[in-house]
A and B are shown apart, each in its own frame.
Chain A
Amino acid sequence: MQALKIEHVDQFFGTGASRVQVLHDVNFEAKAGELSLILGPSGSGKSTLLTIAGGLLTPTKGNVQVAGVELGQASAKQKEQLRLNHLGFVLQAYHLLPFLTVNEQFKLVDHVKKSGNLSADALTHLLEELGLTPFVNAYPSSLSGGQQQRVAIARALYPDPAVVLADEPTAALDSTRVMQVGQLLQDLAHDRQKAVVIVTHDVRLRALADHVYDMVDGRLTQAQ
């Protein structure tokens, strides 16, 4: 089943003479249990595609479905609920709340989403898996970049989403951490049956992906 389906999406920015088309008839599917990698240089439109997939931007044309919900028909509130319940974001700059400890980053989700989150045991297990158990009471400022990225991944997984969207998740990591985080995201797809979509220009992640796409000048094609 497709956790994320994008059909014939066009995206324009600007008006009149400055109107620019950044996405051209993009079609894409992400299935549970698979890691999809979208590779492309800066300005190719891959981040725009991610914001559309995440319901943060409404495409000029085309359809987007997340967990069976047609985003074009959804209200802002419904999209918000969809992001909270079915989508997990892993961002380039981690963006953990600096005034919350690792544990409290998850408690915040509990305050907003009362049910459907990982159980206490499952969270403990996840933190163990990610090597974060010693840091549960630490603030982000005392963690390394790799540790913060792992917390961000755990934070994205905590609401138990169907789709994980990762935006340049390895951009701020050294080369040894790149493969570790890439492996972690692959495990999410394969072991936890998540539909994981990574947009990146880091070709080192290619070997870990089930499907690889190239994004060039707003055109998405499946890589050979």
Chain B
Amino acid sequence: MFLALKEMRKEKLRYSLIIAMIVLISYLIFILTSLALGLAQQNTDAINSWGMQSIIMNKDADISLSQSLIKKSQAPSTLPKSQAYIAQAPIVAKKSGHDQVSGTFIGLDNDQFVAKKITLTSGHLAKSRYQLVVDDAFKESGYKLGDTFKLNGNAHAYTIVGFTHNAKMSVAPVAYGRLSAWATLKNVPTTMIASAIVSTKTAPKAGNSALHTYDKDTFVQKLPGYSAQNMTFEMMIGFLLVISLIVIAVFLYILTMQKQQNYAVLRAQGIPGSVLVKSTLSQAFLMVISGLVIGVILTVVTAMAMPSAVPMAFDVPILGAVALALVVIAMLGAVIPVRSILKVDPVSVIGG
């Protein structure tokens, strides 16, 4: 560490430039990770809030909630406490003087567990067919408690009776209402009872040959665009980690090459190779930690400056794991010049 610190202190500009590269890479990785997390959360916030473990859907719906329909005749006469109907329909809220809001209607039975899991930030649950509890995103479009508006050009007006936070599904804000409103909004016959049945149990029996039970992860992965979006971000983060490996390895290799003569003298003087290796690894560690700290500060500042419409989320364990991956990769990058340190020939400094 002695050599590492002394060299970095003397060669401030050189090491600052390398740290700047690490800052930029880590900053980009953190921003992308936060965006990936934010988008993933906005896909699944509502689903996560329900506390479900599995879902029973029409087996021909390709695990798509918007395609699934359950007939009254296919559903059991009464659901156990661990199960609840959910009825999904796409909606467009339209009120004069306000922005249009595209969202997802989720019809619920207030006596079942999903409705009981909804945390209200204001108001109360829908008590009648034309009442809604909507996500806070509606507020950003100018809607407030007591507002009435039409959905999907439907003749009836709906009233906001409550707001809830982080109720989003496939990035669209959710409007919770009664099951009885769903058939009209979805424009399906009244023989249909809901889109799906969610359960707090891991593998409840579907109870009908037309239905099938899927676990939560399978359901989430099949949300429109969810897997493709996550894979895109994972690829970008993965490539950035590989780029950081190359950048750190190349810079340290160049620095090591420039110091070959010094290393040769030190080896001739009996300084063990392990001391020089530790010095290089320490430099890599110090540079990556410095870069990460500055990268984190920049990310936090950026997140604070971003408008709330930008979906950024911070999950300390995940961001910590990304930072750890960057440290590991930097140390792997430092191993490449280490080989040349160990192979340095002290004889090269003796003689003209």
| A contact residues vs B (CB 8 Å cutoff) | 42, 47-48, 50-51, 54, 56-57, 80-85, 87-89, 91-93, 95, 97-100, 104, 107-108, 111-112, 139, 156, 167-168, 171
Contacts of A54 in B (CB 8 A): 268, 350
Q: Is the CB of B352 within 8 A of A47?
A: yes
Q: A83-B269, A98-B10 are in contact. Are A47 and B350 (CB under 8 A)?
A: yes
Residue in B2, B261, B270 whose beta carbon sits within 8 Å of that of A87 in the complex? B270
For chain B, residues 304 to 352, give those with C-beta under 8 angstroms from any C-beta of chain A: 346-347, 349-352
Minimal beta-carbon separation of A4 from chain B (angstroms) = 15
Q: Could you tell me the dominant secondary structure of chain A's interface residues? A: mixed
Highest count of chain B CB atoms <10 Å: which of A81, A88, A167: A167
CB distance from B322 to the nearest CB of A (A): 33
* Chain B residue nearest in CB terms to A201: B352
Bound together, the chains give a CA A20 to CA B10 distance in angstroms of 44
CB distance from A219 to the nearest CB of B (A): 18
Q: Are B350 and A84 in contact (CB under 8 A)?
A: no
Across the interface, which residues of A come within 8 angstroms of B9, CB to CB? 99
What's the nearest-Cβ distance from chain B to residue A62, in Å?
Answer: 18
Contact B11 A99 (CB under 8 A): yes
Interface size on B, residues (CB 8 A): 25
Q: Do B2 and A108 have beta carbons less than 8 Å apart?
A: yes
Contact (Cβ within 8 A) A80 B352: no
Cα distance A91–B261 when bound, in Å?
12
Chain B binding surface SS class: helix
Give chain B residues whose Cβ lies under 8 Å from the Cβ of A98: 10, 262
The interface residues of chain A lying within 8 Å CB-to-CB of B352 are 42, 47, 92, 168, 171
A47 to chain B: which residues have CB within 8 Å? 350-352
> What would 12 more interface pairs be, CB under 8 Å, given A80-B267, A84-B271, A87-B270?
A42-B352, A51-B347, A80-B272, A84-B269, A88-B269, A89-B268, A95-B261, A95-B264, A97-B262, A98-B10, A111-B275, A168-B351
Contact residues, B119-153 vs A (CB, 8 A): none
Asked whether, in the complex, the Cβ of A81 is within 8 Å of the Cβ of B270, the reply is yes
- Decide if B6 touches A99 in the complex (CB within 8 Å): yes
CA of A80 to CA of B342, assembled, Å: 13
Q: Is A167 a contact partner of B350 (Cβ separation < 8 A)?
A: yes
Contact among A88, A91, A97, A100 with B349 in the assembled complex (CB-CB below 8 Å): A91
Q: 26 pairs across A/B with beta carbons < 8 Å?
A: A47-B350, A47-B352, A56-B347, A82-B270, A83-B268, A84-B269, A89-B265, A89-B350, A91-B268, A91-B350, A93-B349, A97-B3, A97-B262, A97-B266, A98-B10, A99-B7, A99-B10, A99-B11, A108-B2, A108-B271, A111-B2, A112-B272, A139-B10, A167-B351, A168-B352, A171-B352
